[in-house]
Structures are given as structure tokens and as C-alpha cells.
Amino acid sequence: MTDLTGLRLAMPEDAQAISNLAKAAYERYVPVMNAIPLPMSADYSAHIADDTVLVLDGGDGLDASLVLMERSDHLYIWSIAVCPKAQGKGLGGKLMSHCEALARGKGLSEIRLFTNVFMRENQAWYRRQGFVETGEEQIGDKRIVHFVKRLG
């Protein structure tokens, strides 16, 4: 699958599958960070109830998930995860384009997100998507990097 056919709002019954997807997508970072990435321990039932959670159903399970939080002046990407078996197909970029369309449709001028300082591949990928680093912050035992993409 290289398009977003199957993209839909998450339902409460998707919470466990989203959690499993996040664990599969983020587990490779545990040794690099020497910590558990936040999406691996998130309460997806709460996110589904409180935020906009999109899932990409690949037919034999979830290929990707996206947790979005709408703020007064921006769209915040709390998590974007692609299942390892679906990586390398351009789904992340397509999901990011979808985020931009959602933000523009709501009249928002930027998208913000964060990633762990040790997730260098993610940082490079966000830069290729047009995001700019805006700073670093220590949150508990994790050091995060903030990014923003201003929409034209």
C-alpha cells in the first residue's frame, strides 16, 4: 500500500492495536535512548477519547497511526508511527501531507512536534519534510528536540 486508502479515525477498539503498532515502530530506539519512548507506554484509549487519532488500516492490521492535538494556533503531532513491515513505502510522507491539509483546512499556520534527541534518523526525516528545529528541552529523563513547519 502506497496511498492512504484505509485511513480512518481510530475507534476505542483500536487502542490495543495502536499500542502494539507503537511498540513495534519505536522498540528499536530503546537501546539508543536507554529509555522507553513515550509512544510505547501511552494510553491510546485516552488519546482516542481526547485527541484526533488516525489509523491506516492495511487490511491485515494497522500500517500506521497518527496522534494529533489541535491547539489554538497550530496542529501538534504527538506521535506518527509506521509499522516496520510497512516502512519504506512513503506512508510517513503521505501522512505528513495529510496533516498539512488538515491544518490548512482548520486555518492553522503551522505544525509542531517533538522527538527524542537520540532519534537522529527521525530528526533528519522531519527536516526533509520541511520542519525546522526550534530548540531542545529536558523532560524528566528524556531530552527532546522541538520542530515546527510553517505552512504557506
In which domain, by residue range, is 95 found?
Answer: 7-109
In the block, residue with C-alpha cell 523532560: 139
- Asked if residue 116 is part of any domain, the answer here is no
- Asked if residue 137 is part of any domain, the answer here is no
| Cα(70)–Cα(127) distance, integer angstroms | 22
- Asked if residue 72 is part of any domain, the answer here is yes
User: What total of structural domains would you count in the chain?
Assistant: 1
- Asked if residue 138 is part of any domain, the answer here is no
| Cα(7)–Cα(5) distance, integer angstroms | 6
**What CATH code is carried by the domain that includes residue 75?**
3.40.630.30
pTM of the full structure: 0.92
Q: What is the pLDDT along the chain (152 residues), one digit of tens a residue?
A: 346 788 999 999 999 999 999 999 999 999 999 889 999 999 999 999 999 999 998 888 899 999 999 999 999 999 999 999 999 989 999 899 999 999 999 999 999 999 999 999 999 999 999 999 999 999 888 899 999 999 98
Instruction: Look at residue 146 in the predicted model and tell me its pLDDT.
Output: 98
Burial of 147 (0-12, 13-18, 19+ CB in 10 A): buried
